[in-house]
Amino acid sequence: MRSALPKVLHPVAGNSMLGHVIHSARQLNPERIHVVIGHGADAVRERLAADDLNFVLQDKQLGTGHAVAQAVPFISADTVSVLILYGDVPLIEVETLQRLLLQAAPEQLGLLTVELADPTGYGRIVRNGEGKVTAIVEQKDANEAERAITEGNTGILAVPAKRLGDWMSRLSNNNAQGEYYLTDVIAMAVSDGLTVATEQPHDAMEVQGANDRKQLSELERHYQLRAARRLMAQGVTLRDPARFDVRGDVTVGRDVLIDINVILEGRVVIEDDVVIGPNCVIKDSTLRKGAVIKANSHIDGAVLGEGSDAGPFARLRPGTVLDARAHVGNFVELKNAHLGEDAKAGHLTYLGDAEIGARTNIGAGTITCNYDGANKHKTVLGQDVFIGSNNSLVAPVDILDGATTAAGSTINQKVEKSQLAVARSRQKNIDGWKRPEKIKKN
């Protein structure tokens, strides 16, 4: 990877490769997940620490078999099956693993294989005349006939737990690499009279790993296309599935329209009839039925009510709530602000730590002065308030129902119901005014 970051921490769709593998493992409801760590162990442990993970240190990287052997002492005596996964194979599907686990039995081992047009680099699955698996041969150790085999080993196994310790103790490093190969378990199982049952993924990319940035980008794009297909199957129209990214957990309704270059991050809920314009980022937010996000908007930690809209070029920061049909226009930023039903902030406005009543209209260039250098303060506007353009609302301040503030005002006192507040210097027109002249340089 040519990186200071451990390989398994490199991201695919906003989550580390190892994070994806752990997420898949968790969905199988295992009694325990053991993570064997070596290079960059401290960074991996720090990034992914969780109560259900047991990190096992492999001091020396002596091969895949050696790695698994480090975890064997931590496997409970009551464990029935052990599933072995790889931290740089992030796209493996839970359904594929479930099928593989069904192959594990006291006298049977489950092996995930894959058919490849070009199996270069993969261990080859060797079968006898009856089609039964007899061994796996690594490419460096394979002869010409074995290299012609197109069925490759993914390395993913489901094995009877009671056999694993014995097999690990019998591994040898007598091979071209001088390593302890996990693949040698297959020959041991056959020698011990076990059946090796195989499963294959529906998609070969499920078992693709990443050893460089190019392969990482291929995993990213495949993940995104897979996510796009799933969303389209649920009723989403994507203008271009190749220009769309999911980096989290997305729930969608029907008749949703998403334009190009949209990124969905974290936990995003999109209800029916929502429209998202091009070049938008939606993070940890909920978009209620019929909400519209216009082009180039950034929505983070916000809730948009039914029929509300934001943008273009709107920024809604954490704590923002738009009630039904509320409108946020271009170059408007909200943070911890609540706009009531049919309230409007059309353009060039900042509203922070604010409560805005129904049908209130915020004029262009208005800002809430909510921070005094040490503490945040709240601005409260009632219903049907009209805020003139270029207002500064100095919090804490209340403006009650039906009140109006004049354009260019700085409001720092309470405005009662239906009052007009004017807080600006009186205009003076001076006759005979002569503009300064530019001094000519010699």
439 has pLDDT over 90: no
Question: In the structure, what pLDDT confidence band is assigned to residue 65 with cuts at 50, 70 and 90?
Answer: very high
**Domain count for the chain:** 2
Pair (40, 138) in one structural domain: yes
Domain containing residue 131: CATH number:
3.90.550.10
Pair (307, 288) in one structural domain: yes
The residue-averaged pLDDT of 90-111 equals 96
Residue 215 is encoded by which pair of tokens? Answer: 């392969």
293 has pLDDT over 90: yes
The confidence score (pLDDT) of residue 119 equals 92
DSSP states along 359-393: T-EE-TT-EEE-B-SS-B--EEE-TT-EEPSS-EE
What does the pLDDT look like over 304-362, one tens digit per residue? 999 999 999 999 999 999 999 999 999 999 999 999 999 999 999 999 999 999 999 99
pTM: 0.90
CA–CA gap between residue 318 and residue 296 (Å, rounded): 18
The confidence score (pLDDT) of residue 389 equals 98
**Which of 207, 233, 259 is the endpoint of a domain?**
207
| Percentage of the residues of the chain whose pLDDT score is greater than 70 | 100
Name the residue with tokens 């040490």. 374
Question: Is residue 272 situated within a structural domain?
Answer: yes
Pair (255, 272) in one structural domain: yes
Pair (178, 293) in one structural domain: no
302 has pLDDT over 90: yes
Pair (354, 299) in one structural domain: yes
Pair (154, 242) in one structural domain: no
Pair (220, 198) in one structural domain: no
The residue-averaged pLDDT of 244-263 equals 97
68 has pLDDT over 90: yes
Pair (242, 202) in one structural domain: no
Pair (181, 226) in one structural domain: no
Pair (104, 32) in one structural domain: yes
Question: Is residue 131 situated within a structural domain?
Answer: yes
What does the pLDDT look like over 206-242, one tens digit per residue? 999 999 999 999 999 999 999 999 999 999 999 999 9
Question: In the structure, what pLDDT confidence band is assigned to residue 177 with cuts at 50, 70 and 90?
Answer: confident
What does the pLDDT look like over 149-160, one tens digit per residue? 999 999 999 999
Question: Is residue 441 situated within a structural domain?
Answer: no
How many residues comprise the chain? 442
Dihedral sign (CA 77, 80, 86, 90) = negative
Query: Please, which residues have CB within 8 angstroms of residue 145's CB and are 6 or more apart in sequence?
Result: none
440 has pLDDT over 90: no
CA–CA gap between residue 185 and residue 84 (Å, rounded): 12
CA distances from 159 to 4, 72, 113, 153, 228 (A): 34, 12, 14, 15, 34
The confidence score (pLDDT) of residue 121 equals 87
CA 150 centroid distance within chain: 35
H or E segment to which residue 146 belongs: helix 144-147
The confidence score (pLDDT) of residue 438 equals 86
Pair (194, 258) in one structural domain: no
Pair (187, 96) in one structural domain: yes
Give the residue numbers annotated as catalytic, written as ranges: 347
The CB density around residue 439, as the number of other CB atoms within 10 Å, is: 5
The CB density around residue 98, as the number of other CB atoms within 10 Å, is: 12
Instruction: Give me the domain span that covers residue 343.
Output: 213-421
Question: In the structure, what pLDDT confidence band is assigned to residue 427 with cuts at 50, 70 and 90?
Answer: confident
81 has pLDDT over 80: yes
